[in-house]
Amino acid sequence: MTVSETLLELDHVHKVYRTGAFGGGRKRAVRDVNLTVRAGEVVSLIGESGSGKSTIGKMVLGLTSVSEGQIRYEGTDVSTIKGFKARKEYYRHVQGVFQDPFSCFNPIFKADRVFEMVRQSYAPDTSQEEWREKVLSSLDTVRLDPGNVLNKYPHQLSGGQLQRMLIARALLLDIKVLVADEIISMLDASTRIDVLNLLVDLKERGLGILFVTHDLSLGNYVSDTSVILHKGAVAEMGPTQRVFENPLHPYSRHLLSCVPQLHQTWAEVDAELAANPPEDVTLPTVPEGEYTAPLLEAEAGHFVGIDQT
């Protein structure tokens, strides 16, 4: 494997939300997360609801502030990017696509208006002609037929088409990092795989992708690195294949045994686990009152985190 350029780095990142009627309570949604996204790599953030996976995506996109720690994009601390111009420059390289494609479009305008809006704010000097070329090539990348999607209203298009248009919109900019937050979950089985394959294509073009999902089989299909989050902290992190073949953290094992599979029933999975109980791993511990979440390297590149049960 060639060592490629590190695009995004999360360095001991925490997020603490205020909770309760007067904001007196504190909720640590993300706890001491370290991870990197390289060019040409898909990193999956996998977790159940409340695991902090979407919060991490939001912090990367600057939609919510970082409480402690640093998120660095190409070495620059993201929280120091201030001012309209600088932020715009950041968004030229880092873009997000979200869960519900239907709510991302204004129903009273044609769907391709999103492309024109990108032109107005990011490339006002480009001529109509040139821009049209760009839109067409970007639609080609996401494998949409321009005749089918241009000049249509959002309700005339399917969820999969809209979702791919949003990705095409992001591609109009010179993006290097794409945060894909549950982009598959609203789509039908027959179109899901097309969007997943598209992510693989983008990865091969050298994009770094942060793929946020709750569905382990999807994470497994596209990603190079998998990060399993539990209660805001990393439970397990490593090369996807190792994490799924040899889950070390009790939480990841539990999660994997609950995934409905196509050729194995839950009972069979349980029986198999009982027949060959996996070896226990010593998990790192944290002293009472500290909010760090150290990782232990169990095998090369494969880390386990603290136990929070």
Where do contacts with other proteins occur on this chain (CB under 8 A)?
48-49, 158-160, 188-194, 196-197, 200, 214, 216-218, 220-222, 240-241, 244, 254-256, 258-263, 265-266
Q: How far apart are alpha carbons 245 and 149 in whole angstroms?
A: 41
Is 74 or 100 the residue whose CB approaches other proteins more closely? Answer: 100
Minimum CB–partner distance for residue 184 and other proteins (Å): 10
Look up residue 39 and give its two tokens. 């060019």
Cα distances from 47 to residues 28, 44, 106, 182, 215, in angstroms, run 16, 10, 30, 11, 8
| Minimum CB distance to other proteins, residue 165 (Å) | 14
Distance from chain centroid for Cα 118: 22
Residue 9 has phi, psi (to 5 degrees) of -135, 125
The residue written with tokens 């294509």 in the block is 201
Query: 43 with 224: CB under 8 angstroms?
Result: yes
Cα–Cα distance between 194 and 143 in angstroms, integer? 9
Q: Please name the residue that has the structure tokens 């490629």.
A: 4
Compare residues 94 and 165 and give the one whose CB is closer to other proteins.
Answer: 165
Q: Which is nearer to other proteins, 77 or 194 (CB)?
A: 194
- Minimum distance from residue 154 beta carbon to other proteins (Å): 15
DSSP, collapsed to helix, strand or coil, labels residue 13 as strand
In the block, tokens 């898909």 appear at: 42
* Alpha-carbon span 226 to 185, nearest angstrom: 18
Q: Which is nearer to other proteins, 126 or 148 (CB)?
A: 148
Q: How far is the CB of 239 from other proteins (least distance, A)?
A: 11
Tell me the C-alpha distance between 218 and 184, whole Å: 9
Separation CA 268–CA 290 (nearest Å): 40
Pairing, β 302-304 against β 233-239: antiparallel
CB of 37 to other proteins, least distance (A): 17
Distance CA 114, CA 125 (A): 17
Nearer to other proteins, 88 or 155 (CB): 155
| Residue 251: CB minimum distance to other proteins, A | 10
Closer CB to other proteins, 43 or 222, in the complex: 222
Complex with other proteins: residue 94 or 248, whichever CB lies closer: 248
- The CB-of-133 to other proteins minimum distance in angstroms stands at 26
